[in-house]
Structure 1
Amino acid sequence: MQITKPHAVLLASPGMGHLIPVLELGKRLVTHQDFHVTVFVVAVDVSGENISKLLDSSSEHLDVLMLPTVDISGIVDPDENFVIKIVVTMHESLSAIRSAICGMKIRPTALIVDLFGTEAMAIADELEMLKYVFIASNAWFLAATIYGPAVDKKVLDDEHINQKKPLKIPGCTPIRFEDTLEAFLDPNDPLYHGYLSVGRVIPTADGILVNTWEDLESKTLRALKDDKLLGCVARTTVYPIGPLARAVEAVAENQVLEWLDMQPTESVIYVSFGSGGTLPSKQMMELAWGLEQSQQRFIWVVRPPLENDVSGSFLTVGNGPVGTVDYLPNGFMNRTHNVGLVVPMWAPQAQILEHPSVGAFLSHCGWNSTLESIVSGVPMIAWPLYAEQKMNATMLTEEIGMSVRSRELPTERIVEREEIEMMVRRVMVMDKERHAMKNKVKELKNSALKASSKGGSSYNSLSQLTKDCENRFQCLKVKAEGG
C-alpha cells in the first residue's frame, strides 16, 4: 500500500458530546488539510439520537469504525456516575485500540484522543506516533482542567471547595464555586483524583486542540500561551481550531421542519437539553406552564422526567411515565396545539437552529449546542445541568452577552413558571435587550465563519498542526520505503 498523505487516528469516547466534534474534526482534517483519517468510536450513547447516520460518515479519506463493545457490568455499579462509566469503558478498550492501530497496513502519523482517552497516549508513544489531546469544549474549561492539579492543594480543597471561594486561574476569569466542575467538589471522591490525573497528563501531549477560536476567548488563549501565566502549566502548544459544529444537512420529510416552514420569521423558541439532559417531573411541569404563559411559539424536545430528583441530571434516563402527555399539565397539548410542537426524545437540532423561523434556544449549554446556536446566530436561555455547562452559562450570559439565565441555578431549585415566562419573553420579544443579544450573536457568527475560513485564525492553527504531522509523516515514509 503506497503512502500518499499523513494519516491520523481520532479516538471518540462514549457520548454524542464527544462523537460529534471528533467527527467534525476528522472531516476538517480531510477537506482542509489533506489527511487520511480513521475515527475509532469506543461506544455511543443511544439516547434518542440518530446515531447510525453519524456513524455512516465514512468517505474516500475518512473511515469511521466502531470498536468492539466492552462489558463493564462486573466492574462498575449500574447507578454509578456516568463519568466513571466512561473512564472505565475507555480503560477496558485500550487493548482493542492498540490492536486496531497495529492491524493497520500503514502505521498512522498521529493519534488524537479526547478528554477521556488520555490513557491511550501511551500507545502512541509505544508505536512512535505523535499524540494530541482534543478538548471538545472551550479554552476556559481547558485552563481549569490543567490548572487544577497545579494549584496548591490548600487553595483547591480548603479555599475553593470548603470555603466556596472563587478558583483564581492566572490570566483567566475566576471560576465561582457555584459554577465549578463536579469533579472538584469532593476530595474523597475517586472522580476528583482521576480528574486531576487527567489534568496532569494532558500537557504531556505534543499539542492540545481546543474547540474554540481567537475572537471568542482571546483572553484565556493568551494566558494558555503565556509562560508567565498558564503557559508554564500547559507546557505544549495549544491549537484553537473551532468552531467544530455539526454541519447542517438536508433532512427528508421531517415534521418538525415542515411545521417551522409555516411559522413567521424568528417567532419560535427551540427547547432542548441535548441527548442526555433530564429534568425532574416538577420542573418539567413548571417549564410547560412557563412556555404556555409566555404566549410564544415553541418546539420542545422532551424526555421522560426524573420522579425522585430535585435538580435534574445528565445522561440519566428518566423514570417518569412513558407517554409524553402523561408528564405534562392536563390539557397542555390541546391548549398549545396551534403555537407549540412537542417532540419526543430527539429532533434535528442543527437544522432547527438554522431555520429562519427560530428566534431563540433554551439549552443545557453543552458546548456542541452552544456552538450550533452561535453559528446559527440564535440567542439563548442558559439552563445548565452538568459538567462544565455552568461555566458555559456564565460565559454566555455575563461575558459574551448572548443569553439570559434564571436567578438561581436550575440544579439548586425549581425554576418557577413566572420566571420561565419572563426569560422566554426576554429572548423572544424584540426590545432593547433582545436586540443587543441578537447583535452580539450575529457578530460571533461572523467571526466564527471568518476563523474557520482559509486564512482565518482557526484554519491557520490547524495548518500549523498539520506541518508538525507532515514532518513526522515524511520520516515514516522514508522508513517504510527502506530509506
Structure 2
Amino acid sequence: MQAAGDRPHAALLASPGMGHLIPVLELGKRLVTHHDIHVTIFVVATDAATTDSLLKSCPATITNLSIVPLPAVDVSSHVEPSDHIVTKLLAMMRHSIPNLRSAISAMPTPPTALVVDIFGTGTFPLADELGMLKYAFDTTTAWFLATAVYGSSAEDAVARHIGSKTPLEVPGCRPVRFDDTLDSYHVIGDRVYHDFQRVGVEFTTADGILVNTWEEMEGKTLDALRDRKAMKNMVKAPVYPVGPLVRPSPPLETTEPNDAVLWLDEQPDRSVIYVSFGSGGTLPLAQLVELAWGLELSGQRFVWVVRPPPVEDDDVSATFFSLGNGSQRGSHHGYLPEGFLSRTRDRGLVVPMWAPQAEILAHSAVGGFLSHCGWNSTLESITNGVPMVAWPLYAEQKLNAALLTDELQVAVRPESDTAGSMVKREEIEKLVRRVMVAEEEEGKAIRERVAGLKESGEWALSRKLKGSSYSALAQVARELELNHQRLVAKAQGGGRWDPENLRDTYRRARMWECLPLSFFWSNLVFSLRGREKNI
C-alpha cells in the first residue's frame, strides 16, 4: 500500500441525515480498502451524538480515512419553518461551502476529486475552481435518478403529471404514478419544486454519477440512463452502480448487549417482524394506535421501534433534524392503546426511539420488516434476505415502495398510503400475515425473490469475482489515479495543467473502456449453475 501522499485523494461530502451519511461512509471505506484511495469525509451534521456514534463504528484498522465535521451553519434567516425538508437541506449545504473551502485549502494533500450526494451539487463550482474531478453520488435508486434528471428538463411532461395526475413517462423506465411521485412534484411553482429542478440540472454536470444500486437489480433503468438518445442527451457523464452500500452487520466492534437483540436470541428463526420508520420518520397518533392494534391482531411476534407522534402542524418527517441514537428515550405509554403492552408482552417488544437496526435485520429470528422504505433500510433488508411491508412516508420513499412491490416483488403494501389516508388495523393485520405466515404462498414467493436479490448483491460487490459494482468503482478509482498523476506532473513542473482538458481526455478514454464487458462477464458468471459461493 502506498503512503497517503503517493495515492489519489478523494474528498466525500455528506449532507445531514443518516440516509446520506451511511452510504457516504461505506463508499469511503470501500475506496480505501479495495482501491487504495486516500479518503476524507466532510460531514454537515445537525445531530452530533448520532453522527459521533456512527463514525465511531468505523474500524480503527481502516487507515487513510479521515472524518472531518464541518461547523454548523444557521440558515434560519434563509428558510421558513414550514419549508420542505429538501429546501432546508439545500440551504444548509450551500451555506456550508465556505467552511468546505477552508477545510480543503488547509489540507497538506489536496483532493483529486470531490464526491457529493444529491444535496451537495452546489459545491461543483468549487471543485472546478480547485481542479478536482466532481462526482455526484445518488444514495438511492437509479429510478429516482432518472426521474430527477428527466423531470428537470421536461417541464411540460412534469406539468401534465402534476396537473392531470397522470403517470410521468420517463424514457426507458417504469412510468411514475402520481400517487408515487416525489414530494417535490406535488405543486408547480413551489420553492421546493424549483429547488429540486435545480438539483436535477446540477447532477448532469458531474464528471461521473455513482448510484447505490447494482446492475442485476436495476439493469433496465441503468441502461436507460446510459442511452443518450432515449434520455435526450440529458445524462452525458458515465453512470456507475456501486451498491449495495450498507452498514456492516453484525457490528465490527464489540458493543454492549442490546435489549432488543437479547430478546431476539430467545425467539424462533424467522418468527419476528421488525417495525421501524427510520431515524427521521414518525406516525400521527391515530395511525400509531391502528398500527398497534394491527400488530396485536396479527398474532405475530414483533419488535417495534416507537417514536412519539408529531405535534400539531408538523409532518411525518418532523424528527429528521432531531435524530436519536438511544439518548432521547421517552415514555410511549401515553400514545399506545390501553393494555397493549401487557397483552403482547409474551410475543412483542416495544423499543422507544432507537434500536440497532443493522444487527436486528441480520438476526436469524427476523422474518419480516415493516419499513418506511428509506433506501438504507431497504438495502439492509434486502442484503439480509428479509421481505418487507412497505409503508412509505415522505421524500422518494413512495417511489422506492413502488419499485419493491410492483417491479421487484419483494414487498407488500397498503392499498392506500397517500398523505392523510389512514391504514386500518384490519389491513395491517393482513399485510403482516402475508409476509410472516409460512403457509402463505405469496410469502414464500417473496422470500425466494428477496433471497435471489441478496445473492446478486453479494456477487455485485465481490472483489474476487470482479462483480459489476466492484468493477464500476474500480473504474472511478482509475480516473482518480489519472487525475492524481496529472497533479503530480504539474507540481513537478510538467507544464500548465488544465482541468477542462483533463475532462476531455476522460471522455475520449471512456469511449474505449471495457466496463460494459465486465458487467456482462459478472452477469454471465452469476447465471452459471452449480457455482461455488466464494465471495
Q: How does the TM-score come out when normalised to structure 2?
A: 0.86
Match in the other structure for 1:353: 361
How many residues were matched structurally? Answer: 477
Which secondary structure does the structure 1 equivalent of 2:6 belong to? coil
Displacement of 1:310: 10
Amino acid corresponding to residue 121 of structure 1 in structure 2: F
Structure 2 residue aligned with 1:463, among 461, 471, 474? 474
Cα RMSD of the aligned pairs, angstroms, is 1.8
**TM-aligned CA distance change 1:163 to 1:66, over 3 Å:** same
1:408-441 per-residue CA deviation (whole Å, 9 max, x = no partner) reads 1153411010000010011000121111000000
Aligned mates of 1:135, 1:162 — CA distance in 2: 28
Match for 1:254: what amino acid? N
1:45-78 CA-to-partner distances (Å, cap 9, x unmatched) read: 46xx843221233742100110011112232233
Aligned twin of 1:53: 53
- Return the match for 1:15 from 11, 14, 17: 17
Indicate the residue corresponding to 1:196 in structure 2: 197
Aligned to 1:398: 406
Where does residue 25 of structure 1 map in the other structure? 27
Equivalent position of 1:439 in the other structure: 448
1:309-352 deviation per Cα after TM superposition (whole angstroms, max 9, x unaligned): 6974454579xx95211100001111111111101111000000
CA distance in 2 between partners of 1:295 and 1:9 (Å): 49
| Aligned match of 2:5 | 3
Matched, 1:299 2:300: no
- What SS does the aligned partner of 2:153 have? coil
What is residue 459 of structure 2 aligned with on the other side? 450
Counterpart position of 2:144 = 141
Runs of 4+ residues over 4 Å off in structure 1: none
Q: How does 1:68-83 map to 2 (within 5 A)?
A: 68-83=71-86
Q: Which amino acid aligns with 1:168?
A: E
- Structure 2 unmatched ranges of 5 or more: 324-328, 495-535
How far apart are the structure 2 equivalents of 1:190 and 1:307? 24
Which of 109-118 and 309-318 deviates more?
A: 309-318
What secondary structure sits across from 1:215 in the alignment? helix
Q: In structure 1, what residue type is equivalent to 2:44?
A: V
Question: Residue in 2 aligned with 1:473?
Answer: 484
Distance 1:367 1:242 in 2: 11
Q: Deviations over 1:248-281 (max 9, x none)?
A: 1153211111000000000000000000111000
Tell me what 2:503 maps to. Answer: none
1:228-267 correspondence runs (5 A): 228-230=229-231, 232-248=233-249, 249=251, 250-267=254-271
Larger CA deviation: 444-453 vs 464-473: 464-473
CA distance in 2: counterparts of 1:39 and 1:28, whole angstroms: 13
Contact kept, 8 Å, 1:268 with 1:359, in 2: the verdict is yes
- Paired with 2:441 and 2:259, the residues of 1 have a C-alpha distance of 34
Q: Retained in 2: the 8 A contact 1:314–1:386?
A: no
Q: 1:50 to 1:261 in 2, by over 3 A?
A: farther
The corresponding residue for 1:328 is: 336
Of the structure 1 ranges 69-78 and 423-432, higher mean CA displacement relative to structure 2 is found in 69-78
- Residue 55 to residue 424, structure 1, CA distance change in 2 (3 Å): same
Q: SS where residue 213 of structure 2 aligns?
A: coil
What is the letter of the counterpart of residue 301 of structure 1?
A: V
Deviations 1:112-141 (A, max 9, x none): 011000010111100001000000001000
> Percent identity, aligned pairs only?
53
**Aligned residue number for residue 292 of structure 2:** 288
Cα drift, residue 230 of structure 1: 2.1
Match of 2:42 among 26, 40, 43: 40
Distance 1:80 1:227 in 2: 35
TM-aligned CA deviation for residue 150 of structure 1: 1.9
Q: Equivalent residue of 1:408, what SS? A: coil
Task: Call closer, same or farther: CA 1:252–1:144 in 2, change over 3 Å.
Answer: same
Contact preservation (8 Å) 1:359, 1:428: yes
Contact 2:151 2:157 in 1 (8 A): no
Provide structure 1 residue ranges, at least 5 long, that are not aligned to the other structure: none
Letter of the 2:349 partner, please give it.
L
